[in-house]
Amino acid sequence: MKHLFLFLFIITIFFACKKSNQASLNNSKWQTYFKYETFTFYAEKELVLNKDKTCYELGETDTTYGEWSSSDEEIKINLDNKTIIRAMIISKDSLSGYRLNEAGVSGEWLAKRK
């Protein structure tokens, strides 16, 4: 499964549109999926990126606030609970990268525009 994910990720990068996506991230909502090293499933949360570079992540039982920045190729998110998310901007509708929690546990992170 891990090899399939890597293969699909690489294929997506090769066929991704290379135009600037930075402006399109402002005031956007995303459905995110992440799988830490010890998970056997993908957890889901909603991510909202505000125009003022603040953000919040909504889970079933919690809401976490933070800040984000981006370039034409990547997005960086730092949440108040010391979670760090780094991802490539694959297209205006998809992001792919990793998530690192405060305990130093990392995992795959994907997002699809809502």
Per-residue H/E/C for 6-41: HHHHHHHHHHCCCCCCCHHHCCEEEEEEEEECCCCC
Query: 75 is written with which tokens?
Result: 């997005």
Q: What is the DSSP letter of 83?
A: -
Dihedral of CA 74/104/45/7: which sign?
Answer: positive
The pTM assigned to this predicted structure is 0.80
Domain boundaries of the chain, sorted by first residue = 2-113
Positive/negative CA dihedral, 21, 26, 31, 36 = positive
Closest among 65, 64, 90, 63 to 75, alpha carbons compared? 90
Of 3.20.20.140, 2.40.128.80, 2.130.10.10, 3.40.50.10800, the CATH number of 2-113 is 2.40.128.80
Note the pLDDT of residue 59: 94
Per-residue pLDDT tens for 1-30?
A: 555 555 556 666 555 544 555 558 999 999
Task: Please give the chain's pLDDT, 114 residues, in tens.
Answer: 555 555 556 666 555 544 555 558 999 999 999 999 888 999 999 999 999 999 999 999 999 999 999 999 999 999 999 999 999 999 999 999 999 999 999 999 999 999
